[in-house]
Amino acid sequence: MILREVIEELSYQLKQRKIINVCVSPTYTSVMLDDQSIGISHTITDGEIEGAGEIIGKNAYDVIINNLDSNLQRSLSLAILNALGDINDFTQGDPINLYSGGKLCVFGFSPQLSYSNFDSVIVYDFISMENKRVGSTEIRPFSSLSHEVCSTALIFASSLVNNTIDRILSQISANHLILTGISSVDAPISLKNHGFEALGKLFPIEKYRVFRTICEGGSSRLLSKYMTRYFKKL
């Protein structure tokens, strides 16, 4: 399970950190650690967080280890993992711009991005229940994924939250593999072991504003004003 490998890789850092604030909104989950770092993930409201009401002040590693079973638990755990990572190791921009041509496969919750630099695009959508076409992009329900051959595969880290990433990796063949999205985690060893060669991550430029926006139920549109997209090659 790739998520457990990520946790093991980052375990030393996690054990040094305590959680000082948590916010779970209908759309996003955010945590603040004792070094003032902010982590964000998608909220998937399915299940119950273990230790709710007693998380503040707890060790970050201990909280994660006890919150891996349901989607809501993984929402919290991914937010904690997302708080780790040094912006100085990244370059501003989007990793998808490193690639072009051939067939692009995308996996996520209705990803709204432009992929005009590819010959064909197929999106496996976690939300869609039917096949449809939007412009030159073919959209399929994620449940229809069997085996897909792609030039480039763009996997949104929401697949770590809803626990589909292992299935995706077992069902695709791609020349280039990218992990990206708001729930992304900087775990280069684990990601490289599974074939990823680029990582996209959003960093909060105004971190306290980001945290308050999530706590107060802000949308992705509001949140985007205070975050910037970065990437690095693995």
Tell whether 99 and 160 lie within a shared domain: yes
Tell whether 223 and 162 lie within a shared domain: no
Tell whether 8 and 31 lie within a shared domain: yes
The predicted-structure confidence for 131-142, as pLDDT tens digits, reads as follows: 998 888 899 999
Domain total in the chain = 2
Dist. CA 195–CA 227, nearest whole Å:
27
Tell whether 133 and 31 lie within a shared domain: no
Residue 152 lies in a domain: yes
Residue 155 lies in a domain: yes
Which tokens is 14 given? 């996690």
Tell whether 104 and 173 lie within a shared domain: yes
The domain of 24 spans 2-86+205-215+218-227
The CATH number covering residue 149 comes to: 3.40.50.11590
Examine the pLDDT at 111 and tell me if it is beyond 80.
Answer: no
- Element (H or E) spanning 220, and its range? helix 220-224
The rounded mean pLDDT for the chain is 95
Report the largest interatomic distance among the alpha carbons of the chain, rounded to a whole angstrom: 51
Give Cβ neighbours of residue 52 (< 8 Å, ≥ 6 apart): none
Residue 234 lies in a domain: no
Tell whether 82 and 102 lie within a shared domain: no
Tell whether 120 and 75 lie within a shared domain: no
Residue 99 lies in a domain: yes
The predicted-structure confidence for 17-41, as pLDDT tens digits, reads as follows: 999 999 999 999 999 999 999 999 9
Residue 40 lies in a domain: yes
User: What CA–CA distances, in Å, run from 112 to 56, 90, 202?
Assistant: 34, 23, 16
The predicted-structure confidence for 47-100, as pLDDT tens digits, reads as follows: 999 999 999 999 999 999 999 999 999 999 999 999 999 999 999 999 999 999
Examine the pLDDT at 128 and tell me if it is beyond 90.
Answer: no
Give Cβ neighbours of residue 46 (< 8 Å, ≥ 6 apart): 70, 71, 72
The predicted-structure confidence for 155-210, as pLDDT tens digits, reads as follows: 999 999 999 999 999 999 999 999 999 999 999 999 999 999 999 999 999 999 99
Tell whether 172 and 96 lie within a shared domain: yes
Residue 193 lies in a domain: yes
Angle, alpha carbons 113-28-227 (nearest 5°): 55
Residue 233 lies in a domain: no
Tell whether 59 and 108 lie within a shared domain: no
19-24 sheet: strands from edge to edge: 19-24, 28-33, 38-42
Tell whether 10 and 76 lie within a shared domain: yes
Tell whether 96 and 190 lie within a shared domain: yes
Tell whether 191 and 127 lie within a shared domain: yes
The CATH number covering residue 41 comes to: 3.30.390.100
Give Cβ neighbours of residue 143 (< 8 Å, ≥ 6 apart): none
* CA pseudo-torsion sign 116, 122, 126, 129: positive
Residue 232 lies in a domain: no
Dist. CA 204–CA 191, nearest whole Å:
22
